[in-house]
């Protein structure tokens, strides 16, 4: 009995160590993020940054970012929904290759995306587009294009997971109940995918608004023209206008938090 | 009404081989088989959800192999029911009525199926997930039948229910068949369900129909050991072994058959000293009461094991007897002669410890 | 019968439109990515960029990037595995808040991460760490820290999904078969999570190696010291050494492709 | 051997209320109930996978409520079996033997369970997914029993199997109980399984044990309408209605009971002109053959509907009769008097079209 007690005691220690190491890992990760949030507020409080938000150049950056990210993420959804639906529902040769291709913009460096876009517009067809249709390089459409690509890949990934989770038999039953393919999608698949679509839109928008590498490469950091929030942060920081930079960092952090909370709410709301 | 004509389908490396079936208007055909036999694949191909490699599906003589699902006027209830989780009970049921002419009749059609399945009190439930298993079933049936389809395809519709709820629904469906004159195409692995609903039964194993015919013929006279085993006929024995035990009424050879099957309910037990002259002595190992009947486990000479099914009175009489020795007799007419499947048993032989 | 034929004909058109619009969406997305890949090769072929790979400053950038990303992603896994396991297996108050906090580094701009780290090291405890323990700002450890944060959040997300897909009853049965919590994790959960762990490591590594915003903000672009591949791309591009920049873009693109293919293979291999 | 003492558990807004159970060494207790009744929750709490709000679990008098699972020497087979998908069949089975002293005996222990379940031929299969349902079951049983646990907890272990495979496994498990003297704690919604394996039965509804006792008592004499309905006793009728139909042997009042239940197999049918004097005239609506027995659906005066279960000979005799009119009698001893549950029927009353 004493021996058994010893064994149980040893087991208890091992179990405590197990719990402890799990807690350490999670605690470390959480405290790192909390330290980062604290550093933002600890540096200058919240008053100076909020005052800086009134400056016209910062207001311009915020407006430009909201405008570009909204258009980019919205347009990207129009492409992402059918793409993700096809990848989730149909099996065809080359499907895995396409899947990998569409993941490249998620994993690749935004700098590489930006340089690649510049190379595209240096080529003969690219120059023709620039001259006769729409200027992208160092212009606002360039920002939108870069953010479109960054949002698109992420949205396809999120929507594909969403569509894969919807029981395909629901659509099948809808078809036998008299729905054509459009009606089945409209009445069954899309309503069920709503939380995932909200998540895709918001996450794509959040990634687009936070992009620096791709935007700066194709659109440059032209003050008063292509200075989105991240670009304006760098411009202000290098000009040692620290309050302005911190103000914009706090704006980006708040946007990230709001987006993540909204995604949670959308997902949670669908479960009731 | 429905003809399935030499259907061949492949999915991965599973194949359905040349399936032929025929289902008359108002009839009910049950596809029975162990899991993995290809029953659901056959159903989905017959419905048109999958395209066959070869073969056709005809409804009333018209080839519907290429007709899109929404024009087929058939109804489908899958195993998981596939109720729409984002719609209320009412909207689930009326889902099929929102197009064109059907829309105007929604009220009466709804009243009709609601009365049919007695789900008035569920109509305003907003969340499907809170319904009980039996309630979900009735809502799925109402949704499927509201537009008065010609055929109802059912895939293991009662697998997850307890005995009482299943019994209720089987009786509902049976009486509906008579009221609505609807044709049923039922896939199941449950023998009682098939027995209760179907006039025609096809037994499927490894992608092939191995038995097909009227219910009573298939259930009473299976032809192979694999089918007899699937039909849960407990006593399946090699002919020779059976004869040497003393059952001389077993024919030594019969159309190349190798085994004999005997239903437990056809085995008669009497006390040691009574019984007909052709009876064989045996040891009674156990009496296992099962609802209103009792299973008797017997060991015959040569370690042959048999099961008998007794009714309450017989079991009580045997239970009173002091001895564990009984006499066993089997009517000649209840012996089922079986051949072994060419490709070995399609259904793995059970071995008990 | 003629009418029915007409209806079927109309239905056929509607169905063709459905297929067409799906194909258009997917085709558009795929051709955008293909155009980007083509632009890289089309600009200078592959010979000039490959020749540029021989230059010592480019080799330095590649070595530095491989070194930093490997250490950062490896360290991050040590924190990510217990964090993701706790989030996937246990229900406790505040779980959703922690989940949201840990997602911030995924959605927030890397620029904001970099500036936040700078602010951290400007604070009193941060300065003490810099002076007495390890210098981060404008140094290689700064690169590793920035990439660690970027890899960590992504890895936690991937690993959490992996652990959630593993039937918890397997662990439960292992416990009743005599395994303590460590043994159950070691013999059941981790082997089953292997494809997910490979994916988390590679995706975190790929994001780390491609990061520009966070790295450049905390470590600066000190030539020959903190010039990782993305930083070197920008340095070379601004100095109009286009071949060198394109060479490094192609390196990043190849890395992204290889990472994605490896993740697929790891996932596919587990399914046999 | 196992005592479950006033167990209270909450999960979300579902509660188990004060569950008391007792299971003797070598016995078998079945927890029966409709899905959602809390059976699995009870099992998991009794095993120690969940911590109760209140109450204790004792094994051989020792409180194990706080003992970690790996020290309990119990075995567990969940509904999905939870075979390890990354291990071969052999490594699945020997999984529990790799620690300490047990390791040395691996060879013999493996041989023993392999012989017990006749799975020699499966041992070297590397991928669990390719086994059939019955094979998976036998592997799961071998894995659970190799370390000779004191108790085996089973959660709906045979739900996904077809009738023949289930019947084989039930017989295996029954004979194992006698060989190994193992104690079984079985959760199921299948009446036959409980009947076949268990001596004690507890019926659970909405988080409460509503009936608990020896199998025969519970199955033959349920006390409430909800339990009788769950036990699939088809004829449950209000006492008054039953009496006015002509069955005067039904007592008008009996301990506050409101309903009478009669098993279909206790209803006797005879031709119009024979039968005992207390028999009642009825119309025979349908004869539904079901395996070796036949269900007769009857309508009595006052639109009262009854079901009777006939054996083959009785059904054949009735089938030959030209008239659809029969005489119905029910022995006084087979009437089961039921009270209505205080909180209304715990189990929704089925209504047929």
ipTM: 0.85
The yes-or-no verdict on residue B350 having pLDDT over 70 is no
> pLDDT tens digits for B305-326?
899 998 878 888 887 776 788 8
Lowest mean pLDDT among A176-180, B46-50, B80-84, B340-344: B340-344
Whole-prediction pTM: 0.86
* Chain D CB within 8 Å of residue B353 CB: yes
Confidence grade of residue B87 (pLDDT, cut at 50, 70, 90): very high
The answer to whether the Cβ–Cβ distance between C8 and B70 falls below 8 Å is: no
The neighbouring-strand residues paired with D309 are D295
The answer to whether the Cβ–Cβ distance between B147 and A177 falls below 8 Å is: yes
The tokens for B347 are 């259904």
User: Residues for chain A: how many in total?
Assistant: 272
Predicted confidence at residue C8, as pLDDT, reads 47
Q: In sequence order, what E strands does chain D have?
A: 2-11, 14-23, 28-32, 54-59, 62-63, 74-77, 151-155, 183-188, 200-205, 208-214, 235-238, 259-262, 268-271, 280-290, 293-300, 304-310, 325-329, 336-338
Predicted confidence at residue A198, as pLDDT, reads 92
Q: Which residues of chain D lie closer than 8 angstroms to B195, CB-CB?
A: 289-291
Q: From CA D222, how far away is CA D273, in angstroms rounded?
A: 34
- DSSP at B99: S
Q: From CA B206, how far away is CA B6, in angstroms rounded?
A: 16
Q: In sequence order, what E strands does C46-200 have?
A: none
> pLDDT tens digits for B217-239?
999 889 999 999 999 998 998 88
How large is the greatest C-alpha to C-alpha distance in chain A, in angstroms? Answer: 90
The answer to whether the Cβ–Cβ distance between D71 and A15 falls below 8 Å is: no
Q: What is the mean pLDDT of chain A?
A: 86
Helices (H), chain A: 2-44, 47-52, 56-89, 95-107, 110-122, 124-132, 140-165, 168-176, 181-184, 190-210, 213-219, 229-238, 242-269
The closest of D93, D172, D163 to D128, measured between CA atoms, is: D93
Q: Which residues of B109-145 are buried (b: 16+ CB within 10 A; e: fewer)?
A: bbeebbebbbbeebbebeebeebbbbbbbbbbbbbbb
Give the rounded percent of residues in chain D with a pLDDT score beyond 70. 93
Domain extents for chain B?
2-221, 227-338
Touching subunits for chain B (3+ Cβ pairs under 8 A): A, C, D
Q: CATH assignment of A50-265?
A: 1.10.3720.10
Give the rounded percent of residues in chain B with a pLDDT score beyond 70. 93
Residue of C nearest to D49 (CA): C172
The neighbouring-strand residues paired with D31 are D187, D202
> pLDDT tens digits for A143-178?
999 999 999 999 999 999 999 999 999 999 999 998
Q: Which of A78, A245, A252 is the closest to C108 by Cβ?
A: A252
Q: CATH class for domain B227-338?
A: mainly beta
Touching subunits for chain D (3+ Cβ pairs under 8 A): A, B, C
The answer to whether the Cβ–Cβ distance between A39 and C96 falls below 8 Å is: no
The yes-or-no verdict on residue A116 having pLDDT over 80 is yes
> pLDDT tens digits for A229-271?
999 888 888 888 888 888 888 888 888 888 888 888 887 754 4
CB-side neighbour CA atoms (13 Å) of C135: 6
Confidence grade of residue B200 (pLDDT, cut at 50, 70, 90): very high
* Chain A CB within 8 Å of residue D70 CB: yes
> pLDDT tens digits for A25-80?
888 888 888 888 888 877 777 777 788 888 888 889 999 999 999 999 999 999 99
The answer to whether the Cβ–Cβ distance between A105 and C234 falls below 8 Å is: no
Q: What is the mean pLDDT of chain B?
A: 85
Touching subunits for chain C (3+ Cβ pairs under 8 A): A, B, D
> pLDDT tens digits for D200-212?
999 999 899 999 9
Q: From CA A163, how far away is CA A190, in angstroms rounded?
A: 9
Q: From CA D340, how far away is CA B203, in angstroms rounded?
A: 44
The tokens for D9 are 């558990």
- DSSP at A188: I
The answer to whether the Cβ–Cβ distance between D127 and C174 falls below 8 Å is: no
Q: What is the mean pLDDT of each run of 10 residues along chain C (272 residues)?
A: 41 76 87 85 77 85 93 95 92 86 89 90 84 84 93 93 93 90 92 93 92 90 85 88 86 88 76 38
What DSSP line would sit under C198-245, residue for residue? HHHHHHHHHHHHH--HHHHHHH---TTTT--HHHHHHHHHHTT-HHHH
Q: Which residues of chain C lie closer than 8 angstroms to A229, CB-CB?
A: 109
* Average of per-residue pLDDT across D138-159: 91
∠ Cα D208 D211 D213 (to 5°): 130
Q: Which residues of D254-268 are buried (b: 16+ CB within 10 A; e: fewer)?
A: eeebebbbbbbbbbb
Q: Which residues of chain B lie closer than 8 angstroms to D336, CB-CB?
A: none
* Average of per-residue pLDDT across B243-249: 80
Predicted confidence at residue D144, as pLDDT, reads 93
The neighbouring-strand residues paired with D56 are D5
The closest of D280, D268, D276 to D318, measured between CA atoms, is: D268
Q: How many Cβ pairs closer than 8 A exist between chain B and D?
A: 122
Predicted confidence at residue D353, as pLDDT, reads 36
The whole-angstrom distance between A76's CA and the closest CA on chain C is 9
Residue C138 φ/ψ region, left for φ over 0, alpha for ψ in the -120 to 50 degree band, beta for the rest: left
Q: Which residue did the predictor score with more confidence, C46 or B141?
A: B141
Within its chain, how far is the Cα of D203 from the centroid?
9
The tokens for A211 are 């992009």
Give the rounded percent of residues in chain A with a pLDDT score beyond 90. 37
The yes-or-no verdict on residue B42 having pLDDT over 50 is yes
* Chain D CB within 8 Å of residue B351 CB: yes
Q: What share of chain C is helix, strand, coil (3-state, %, to 5)?
A: 85, 0, 15
The neighbouring-strand residues paired with B326 are B271, B282
What DSSP line would sit under D97-113, residue for residue? G-STHHHHTHHHHHHHH
In CATH, the architecture of B2-221 is 3-Layer(aba) Sandwich (3.40)
Topology agreement, domain D2-221 and domain D227-338: no
Within its chain, how far is the Cα of D353 from the centroid?
28
């Amino acid at each position: 009995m004493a021996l058994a007690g010893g064994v149980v005691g040893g087991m208890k220690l091992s179990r405590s160590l197990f719990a402890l190491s799990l807690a350490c890992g999670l605690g470390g990760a959480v405290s790192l993020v909390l330290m980062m949030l604290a550093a933002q507020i600890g540096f200058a409080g919240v008053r100076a940054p909020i005052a800086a938000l009134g400056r016209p150049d910062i207001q311009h950056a915020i407006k430009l970012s909201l405008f570009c990210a909204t258009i980019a993420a919205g347009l990207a959804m129009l492409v992402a929904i059918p793409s993700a639906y096809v990848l989730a529902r149909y099996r065809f040769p080359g499907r895995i290759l396409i899947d990998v291709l569409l993941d490249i913009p998620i994993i690749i460096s935004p700098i590489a995306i930006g340089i690649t876009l510049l190379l595209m517009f240096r080529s003969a067809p690219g120059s023709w587009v620039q001259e006769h249709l729409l200027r992208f390089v160092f212009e606002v459409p360039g920002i939108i294009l870069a953010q479109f690509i960054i949002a698109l890949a992420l949205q396809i990934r999120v929507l594909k997971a969403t569509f894969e989770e919807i029981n395909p038999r629901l659509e099948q039953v809808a078809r036998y109940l008299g729905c054509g393919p459009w009606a089945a999608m409209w009445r069954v698949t899309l309503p069920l995918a709503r939380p995932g679509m909200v998540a895709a839109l918001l996450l794509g928008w959040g990634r687009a608004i936070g992009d620096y590498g791709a935007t700066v490469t194709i659109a440059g950091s032209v003050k008063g023209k292509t200075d989105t929030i991240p670009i304006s942060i760098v411009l202000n920081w290098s000009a040692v206008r620290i309050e302005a930079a911190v103000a914009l960092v706090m704006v980006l952090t708040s946007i990230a938090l709001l987006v993540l909370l909204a995604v949670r709410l959308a997902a949670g709301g669908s479960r009731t | 009404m429905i003809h399935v004509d030499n259907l061949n389908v492949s999915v991965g490396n599973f194949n359905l081989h040349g399936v032929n079936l025929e289902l008359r208007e108002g009839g009910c055909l049950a596809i029975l088989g162990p899991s993995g036999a290809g029953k659901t694949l056959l159903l989905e191909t017959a419905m048109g959800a999958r395209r066959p490699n070869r073969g056709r599906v005809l409804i009333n003589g018209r080839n519907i192999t290429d007709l899109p699902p929404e024009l087929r006027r058939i109804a489908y209830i899958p195993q998981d029911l596939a109720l729409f989780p984002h719609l209320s009970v009412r909207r689930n049921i009326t889902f099929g009525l929102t197009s064109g002419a059907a829309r105007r009749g929604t009220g009466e059609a709804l009243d009709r199926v609601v009365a049919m399945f007695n789900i008035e009190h569920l109509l305003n439930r907003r969340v499907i997930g809170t319904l009980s298993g039996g309630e979900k079933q009735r809502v799925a049936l109402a949704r499927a039948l509201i537009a008065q389809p010609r055929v109802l395809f059912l895939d293991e519709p009662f697998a997850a229910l307890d005995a009482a709820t299943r019994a209720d629904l089987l009786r509902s469906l049976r009486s509906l068949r008579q009221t609505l004159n609807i044709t049923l195409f039922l896939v199941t692995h449950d023998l009682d369900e098939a027995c209760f609903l179907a006039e025609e039964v096809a037994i499927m194993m490894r992608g092939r129909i191995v038995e097909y015919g009227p219910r009573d013929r298939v259930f009473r006279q299976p032809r192979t050991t694999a089918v007899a085993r699937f039909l849960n006929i407990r006593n399946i024995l090699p002919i020779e072994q059976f004869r040497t035990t003393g059952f001389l009424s077993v024919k030594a050879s019969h159309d190349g058959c190798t085994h004999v099957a005997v239903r437990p309910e056809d085995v008669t037990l009497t006390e040691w000293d009574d019984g007909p002259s052709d009876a064989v002595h045996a040891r009674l190992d156990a009496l296992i009461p099962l609802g209103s009947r009792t299973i008797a486990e017997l060991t015959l000479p040569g370690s042959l094991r048999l099961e008998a099914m007794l009714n309450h009175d017989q079991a009580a009489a045997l239970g009173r007897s002091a001895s564990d020795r009984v006499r066993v007799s089997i009517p000649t007419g209840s012996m089922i002669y079986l051949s072994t499947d060419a490709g070995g048993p399609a259904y793995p032989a059970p071995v008990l410890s």
